[in-house]
């Protein structure tokens, strides 16, 4: 593995360890960011179940946005996953940024999720 991938994996594991310590049974809002798209899932780690998910690959969103790799798309995904989570009865979550910095698309997704009704 290259050095940058090793460092990324270490950051991700360190972040997940701290989240697990402080989650207190709350579901986790997990973010995955690729070069072309962004994905978000709300995961109940106690039961091992995904409660809600959204991505920039969904057909209705692809028609409304130019690309899935910008901050506007990330904010739309955040709002959509929050809307789906609220329908499931989930309002309090823990934000899992993975190994990514809380900046740019990841921050926009978090802000969109807060606008959609999630608390973290």
How is the chain split into domains, by residue range?
3-115
What is the reported pLDDT for 23? 87
Which CATH entry fits the domain spanning 3-115: 3.10.580.10, 3.40.50.10490, 3.40.1390.10, 3.30.420.100?
3.30.420.100
63 within 8 A of 25, measured Cβ to Cβ: no
pTM: 0.91
What DSSP string describes the chain?
--HHHHHHHHHHHHHHHHHHHH-TT--EEEEEE-SS-EEEEEEETTTTEEEEEEETTSHHHHHHSS-SSSHHHHHHHHHHHHHHHHHHT--B-EEE-TTS-SSTHHHHHHHHHHHTT-B-
Residue 63: pLDDT over 90 = no
Residues 92-104: pLDDT tens digits? 999 999 999 999 9
Confidence band (pLDDT; 50, 70, 90) for 72?
Answer: very high
> Average model confidence (pLDDT) for the chain?
94
């Amino acid at each position: 593995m290259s050095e940058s991938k090793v460092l990324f994996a270490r950051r991700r594991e360190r972040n997940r360890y701290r989240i697990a310590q402080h989650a207190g049974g709350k579901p986790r809002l997990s973010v995955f960011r690729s070069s072309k798209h962004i994905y978000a899932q709300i995961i109940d780690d106690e039961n091992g179940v995904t409660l809600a998910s959204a991505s920039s690959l969904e057909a209705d969103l692809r028609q409304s946005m130019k690309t899935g790799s910008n901050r506007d798309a990330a904010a739309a995904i955040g709002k959509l996953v929050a809307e789906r989570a609220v329908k499931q009865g989930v309002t309090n979550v823990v934000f899992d940024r993975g190994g990514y910095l809380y900046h740019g698309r990841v921050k926009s997704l978090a802000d969109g999720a807060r606008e959609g009704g999630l608390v973290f």
